[in-house]
Amino acid sequence: MRSYNHNSNGRERMIMEAYPYVMGVAVMMAKTFPIPGMNMDDYKSVANERIMICAEKYCGPEGKFKHYAARTVRNAIFSIKRTGSRRNVQYLEELTDDDNGMDFPDRKASDPARAAELREELQRIRTIIGEETFLMFRLFSENNSYEEIGNLLSMPEGTIASRLCRARERLIVEKMKEAA
């Protein structure tokens, strides 16, 4: 058995060979395990996302990729069914709408001065940690796991975890500077 080389031709060939099988698994899962709110296109979308992620990570023998990708797709669909948390790009767009996403503090604040103060503080935090990390914080504060955030932003879980950790450290340093 030979292993796939990880240049673009090797990945492309690997995906093309496994694609029909993985899509068949997604269709079978849609028929066998229907999830409220998900249609056939959603199942296929999950399969497309997962096969691309698998192609980047896979370094095993040539003949095993399609089974690895199919298992990953099945696990992803079961995870969605178990948690009931299928989010899409529209969700991310909703997060950043309305004044660049700075409207959420005044939903609970009855005092307009306090709401303005919170907005200023959030804007300051946003400038310290950056736009993308700020979005990660918002997603994390809504009880999303690193895996879910990674799926939404197309990033590995480890990257999400390390960026959030570094951002927390930067915020702590900034607060200590203010206190001094």
Predicted confidence band of residue 64 (pLDDT cuts 50, 70, 90): confident
- Check whether residue 97 and residue 55 sit in a common domain: no
Q: What is the mean pLDDT of residues 23-34?
A: 88
Of 26-30, 82-86, 113-117, 170-174, the poorest mean pLDDT is in 82-86
What pLDDT score was predicted for residue 6?
A: 53
Judged on CB neighbours under 10 Å (0-12, 13-18, 19+), 153 is middle
**What percent of the chain is modeled with pLDDT above 90?**
3
Instruction: Please report whether residue 114 resides in a domain.
Output: yes
What pLDDT score was predicted for residue 90?
A: 44
Whether residue 101 is predicted with pLDDT greater than 60 in this model: the reply is no
Greater confidence (78 vs 83) lies with 78
Instruction: Please report whether residue 100 resides in a domain.
Output: yes
pTM above 0.75, yes or no: no
User: For residue 6, what is the enclosing H or E element?
Assistant: none
Q: What is the count of structural domains for the chain?
A: 2
Instruction: Please report whether residue 133 resides in a domain.
Output: yes
Instruction: Please report whether residue 140 resides in a domain.
Output: yes
What pLDDT score was predicted for residue 89?
A: 39
Query: Do 65 and 5 contact (CB within 8 A), yes or no?
Result: no
- Check whether residue 36 and residue 13 sit in a common domain: yes
Instruction: Please report whether residue 96 resides in a domain.
Output: yes
Q: What residues make up the domain containing 49? A: 8-83
- Check whether residue 167 and residue 93 sit in a common domain: yes
What pLDDT score was predicted for residue 21?
A: 92
Predicted confidence band of residue 116 (pLDDT cuts 50, 70, 90): confident
Q: What is the mean pLDDT of residues 77-103?
A: 56
Look up residue 106 and give its amino acid: D
- Check whether residue 72 and residue 97 sit in a common domain: no
Tens digit of each residue's pLDDT (9 = 90 or more) over 148-157: 888 888 888 8
- Check whether residue 46 and residue 105 sit in a common domain: no
What pLDDT score was predicted for residue 138?
A: 81
- Check whether residue 66 and residue 96 sit in a common domain: no
Predicted confidence band of residue 94 (pLDDT cuts 50, 70, 90): low
| Best CA proximity match to 144, nearest among 77, 72, 92, 104 | 92
Q: Please, what is the average pLDDT of the chain?
A: 76
Give Cα 45 to chain centroid, integer Å: 14
User: Which CATH number is 173's domain given?
Assistant: 1.10.10
Neighbour-count burial for 158-171, b at 16+ CB within 10 Å, e otherwise: eebeebbeebeeee
Final residue of a structural domain among 83, 113, 140: 83
- Check whether residue 138 and residue 169 sit in a common domain: yes
Final residue of a structural domain among 83, 108, 136: 83
Instruction: Please report whether residue 2 resides in a domain.
Output: no
Greater confidence (99 vs 48) lies with 48
Look up residue 85 and give its amino acid: S
Instruction: Please report whether residue 77 resides in a domain.
Output: yes
Instruction: Please report whether residue 54 resides in a domain.
Output: yes
Whether residue 11 is predicted with pLDDT greater than 60 in this model: the reply is yes
Final residue of a structural domain among 50, 83, 116: 83
